[in-house]
């Protein structure tokens, strides 16, 4: 069973992400504490009672392709109808297009629950969210009115079509073409692969957003345009017309997320798929990045969600599995394994990483809300820059740590974790895609270096370092072992991050191999330190409010101390691998022929 951690979610939203400040922004007045709690409790009910029970079913009985038609896992269609009818697709989208217009900070825990309960199912609404964002940003008003309300209602779903057999991460290699017609439409031709929920039977229509080249377009990514290609063409009144010339020719067979159909789509086998350009010609990748950024944040939340699900399952097993007497001799009979020190270490690691990544993601979501709704333009710009800095960290670090957390979940189960029937292995397999799709961890790390650190001369990084310094000053005023540990290790992490930022700025142009060889360690270091910062802030709140709920805030204190003593010290080692050891030299010492 999955039980959404609503209490912890609300703690992070209120105490760390500033829900009260977000609710004071123009347009977000309805996001008061009572409303938000009600929303989260309803989301928890849907995810726990409807979606979570289908998770293992989807792994055992994946979606399948037959004669061009894709059939979803039994039960998914009805679950999707409940999801859509409950208005969950529209939580963060504008009321003007039939959404609920709530802040991203409120939508984020809902997305976490969705991913924790059923990762394969969650991918469908996540891709639809991205399509909605792209249309709202670059579409004409007529396109918005035609497509967005139907995507929000769940009548239709959306996809993102970038990858081709020869064009994975290198989108300059995209060869799909779009030929203009006399009526303003285009005919598209080409093959797209790895299209998540690219074909299915859960909705009436599927809106494909497709990158393609128009005749005479420049080479490389500067020649890509973005097109709407619906599965079914639309009549003038918006009703569905004839089937478009886009077909699913196969589904991939995958390690995990088996219930999510990953399609190979063929455009234009019978005269060309009808498409409509979004925005200006040759600006497609710019628009697609809007969709990709939304999807990258959501994938980061997949990392948080699946980590929490694996943690819950491991804790439940550790409390019931009886093995061996305690090492301290406190009992003469075997005890539940949760009493053994190393099992406690594993469970505490899982918990600490999950809570830190959740907190960092929710704080990022709040910056996104401030960037969109703050009345002061300078403040909007500042918060947007912080949000954009945090997105690759949320995506990269949260997904990488999900591999550690889900692997530890298998380890806690021992041999039974290796047996599929227990379910622990599914989380491990499902998590393995997360550091790969929507931009690998290396791509996120390269983005963190190039666009987010070097481009502004480290300005946003320094802003965050200054904020951490203020938290360190607050820690100094508090007595107790937990505060002393947090101050010591966060101080060291703070210095390690500052040193690496300086190294990146100094060497990015004169020795790019050295810098980019350490790009993923830099991203992980940033995640550990920024996550540790959130745990330090949580520790300060827990000390202040401990008497109101000793069990909850005591657990917060203990988890923060564990993070300080067992996770934060990794930051110093990562700094050494990047700066002191000049990691690029060791990485590049072997020639290609020597491997």
Strands 156-161 and 262-267: unpaired
Say if CB 287 and CB 135 are below 8 A apart: no
Mean pLDDT over each residue of the chain, to the nearest integer: 96
- The string over 283-313, giving b where at least 16 C-beta atoms fall within 10 Å of a residue's C-beta and e elsewhere, is bbbbbbebbbbbbbbbbbbbbbbbbbbbbbb
* Three-state SS at 451: helix
Positive or negative CA dihedral for 429, 288, 76, 232?
Answer: negative
Question: Is 575 annotated as catalytic?
Answer: no
Over residues 76-89, the pLDDT tens digits come to: 999 999 999 999 99
- Report DSSP state, residue 352: H
Q: What is the DSSP letter of 154?
A: T
CA distances from 129 to 7, 160, 424 (A): 26, 11, 29
The alpha carbon of 456 is separated from its chain's Cα centroid by a whole number of angstroms, namely: 25
Whole-number Å distance between alpha carbons of 52 and 33: 26
CATH class of 157-282: mainly beta
- Listed in sequence order, the DSSP H helices in 67-179 are 76-85, 104-117, 119-138, 141-153
CA-closest candidate to residue 536, choices 483, 466, 477, 572: 483
What pLDDT is stored for residue 366 in this prediction?
98
For the CA atoms of the chain, what is the radius of gyration?
24
Contacts of 413 (CB under 8 A, 6+ apart): 314, 317, 321, 422, 424
CB 273 within 8 A of CB 267: yes
| In the chain, where the domains are located | 6-63+72-153, 157-282, 445-590
Bridge partners (DSSP) of residue 274 are 187
Q: Is the CB of residue 532 less than 8 Å from the CB of residue 562?
A: no
Query: How buried is 277 (Cβ within 10 angstroms: 0-12 exposed, 13-18 middle, 19+ buried)?
Result: buried
CATH code of the domain made up of 6-63+72-153: 1.10.540.10
Please choose, from the candidates 557, 238, 296, the residue with its C-alpha nearest in 3D space to the C-alpha of residue 444.
296
Helix (H) or strand (E) holding 409: helix 377-413
**Residue 56 burial (C-beta neighbours within 10 Å; 0-12, 13-18, 19+):** middle
Task: State how far the Cα of 435 lies from the Cα of 447, in Å rounded to an integer.
Answer: 14
Cα–Cα distance for residue pair 583/24, rounded to 1 Å: 46
pTM, two decimals, is 0.97
The residues facing 167 across adjacent strands are 164
Sequence-distant contacts of 319-328: CB under 8 A, at least 24 apart: 321/413, 321/414, 321/416
Catalytic residue among 30, 438, 467, 544: 438
Reading the chain (595 residues) residue by residue, the pLDDT tens digits are: 899 999 999 999 999 999 999 999 999 999 999 999 999 999 999 999 999 999 999 999 999 999 889 999 999 999 999 999 999 999 999 999 999 999 999 999 999 999 999 999 999 999 999 999 999 999 999 999 999 999 999 999 999 999 999 998 888 999 999 999 999 999 999 999 999 999 999 999 999 999 999 999 999 999 999 999 999 999 988 899 999 999 999 999 999 999 999 999 999 999 999 999 999 999 999 998 887 888 899 999 999 999 999 999 999 999 999 999 999 999 999 999 999 999 999 999 999 999 999 999 999 999 999 999 999 999 999 999 999 999 999 999 999 999 999 999 999 999 999 999 999 999 999 999 999 999 999 999 999 999 999 999 999 999 999 999 999 999 999 999 999 999 999 999 999 999 999 999 999 999 999 999 999 999 999 999 999 999 999 999 999 999 999 999 999 999 999 999 999 999 999 999 999 766 567 787 888 898 9
Residues belonging to the chain = 595
């Amino acid at each position: 069973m999955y039980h959404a951690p609503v209490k912890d979610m609300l703690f992070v939203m209120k105490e760390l992400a500033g829900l009260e400040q977000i609710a004071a922004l123009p347009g977000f007045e309805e996001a008061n504490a009572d409303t938000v709690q009600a929303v989260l409790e309803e989301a928890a009910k849907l995810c726990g009672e409807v979606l979570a029970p289908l998770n293992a079913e989807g792994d055992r009985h994946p979606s399948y392709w037959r004669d061009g038609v894709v059939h979803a896992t039994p039960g998914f269609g009805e679950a999707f109808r409940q999801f859509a009818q409950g208005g969950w697709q529209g939580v963060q989208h504008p009321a003007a297009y039939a959404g609920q217009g709530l802040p991203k900070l409120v939508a984020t825990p809902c997305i976490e629950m969705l991913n924790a309960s059923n990762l394969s199912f969650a991918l469908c609404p996540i891709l639809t969210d991205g399509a909605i964002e792209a249309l709202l940003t670059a579409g004409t008003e007529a396109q918005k009115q035609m497509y967005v309300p139907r995507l929000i209602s769940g009548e239709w779903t959306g996809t993102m079509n970038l990858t081709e057999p020869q064009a994975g991460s290198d989108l300059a290699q995209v060869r799909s073409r779009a030929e203009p017609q006399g009526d303003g439409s285009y005919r598209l031709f080409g093959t797209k692969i790895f299209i998540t929920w690219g074909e299915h039977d859960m909705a009436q229509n599927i809106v494909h957003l497709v990158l393609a080249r128009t005749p005479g377009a420049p080479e490389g990514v500067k020649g890509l345009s973005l097109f709407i290609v619906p599965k079914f063409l639309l009549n003038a009144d918006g009703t569905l017309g004839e089937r478009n010339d886009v077909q699913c020719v196969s589904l991939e067979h995958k390690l995990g997320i088996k219930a999510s159909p990953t399609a190979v789509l063929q455009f234009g086998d019978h005269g060309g798929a009808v498409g409509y350009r979004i925005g200006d010609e040759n600006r497609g990748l710019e628009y697609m990045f809007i969709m990709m950024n939304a999807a990258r944040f959501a994938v980061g939340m997949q990392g948080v969600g699946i980590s929490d699900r694996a943690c819950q399952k491991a804790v439940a097993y550790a409390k019931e599995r009886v093995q061996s007497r305690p090492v301290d001799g406190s009992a003469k009979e075997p005890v539940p394994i949760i009493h053994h020190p190393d099992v406690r270490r594993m469970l505490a690691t899982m918990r600490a990483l999950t809570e830190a990544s959740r907190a960092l993601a929710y704080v990022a979501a709040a910056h996104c809300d401030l960037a969109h709704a703050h009345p002061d333009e300078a403040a909007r710009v500042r918060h947007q820059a912080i949000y954009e800095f945090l997105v690759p960290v949320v995506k990269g670090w949260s997904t990488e740590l999900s591999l550690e957390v889900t692997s530890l979940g298998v380890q806690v189960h021992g041999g039974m974790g290796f047996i599929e029937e227990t379910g622990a292995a599914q989380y491990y397999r499902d998590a393995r895609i997360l550091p790969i799709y929507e931009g690998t961890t290396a791509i996120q790390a390269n983005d963190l270096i190039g666009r987010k650190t070097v481009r502004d001369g480290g300005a946003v990084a320094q802003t965050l370092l200054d904020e951490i310094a203020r938290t360190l000053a607050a820690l100094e005023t508090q007595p107790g072992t937990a505060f002393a540990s947090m101050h010591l290790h966060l101080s060291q992490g703070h210095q390690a991050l500052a040193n690496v930022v300086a190294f990146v700025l100094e060497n990015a142009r004169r020795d790019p191999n050295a810098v980019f060889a350490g790009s993923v360690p830099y991203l992980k270091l940033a995640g550990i330190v920024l996550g540790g910062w959130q745990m330090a802030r949580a520790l300060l709140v827990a000390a202040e409010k401990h008497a109101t709920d000793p069990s909850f805030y005591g657990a917060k204190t203990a988890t923060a101390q564990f993070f300080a003593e067992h996770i934060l010290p990794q930051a110093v080692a990562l700094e050494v691998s990047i700066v002191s050891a000049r990691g690029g030299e060791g990485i590049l010492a072997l020639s290609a022929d020597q491997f």
